[in-house]
Amino acid sequence: MIVGGPNARTDYHINTTPEFFYQYKGSMLLRTVDESTTPSTFQDIPIHEGSLFLLPANTPHCPVRFKDTVGVVMEQPRKEGAVDAMRWYCRNKDCGEVVWEKKFVCTDLGTQVKQVVEEFAGDEEKRTCKACGVVARSKYEEGEVVQP
Three-state secondary structure string covering 78-119: CCCCCEEEEEEECCCCCCCCEEEEEEEECCCHHHHHHHHHHH
Tens digit of each residue's pLDDT (9 = 90 or more) over 100-138: 999 999 888 888 999 999 999 999 999 999 999 999 999
Q: Which domains does the chain have, with CATH numbers?
A: 2-127 (2.60.120.10)
pLDDT of residue 39: 83
Residue that wins the pLDDT comparison between 140 and 72: 72
Strand 70-75 versus strand 19-25 pairing type: antiparallel
Identify residue 98 by its one-letter amino acid code.
V
pLDDT of residue 8: 84
pLDDT of residue 69: 97
| Cα–Cα dist 24/27, whole Å | 9
| Cα–Cα dist 20/109, whole Å | 16
Tens digit of each residue's pLDDT (9 = 90 or more) over 10-67: 999 999 999 999 999 999 999 999 999 888 899 999 999 999 999 999 999 999 999 9
What's the whole-model pTM score?
Answer: 0.92
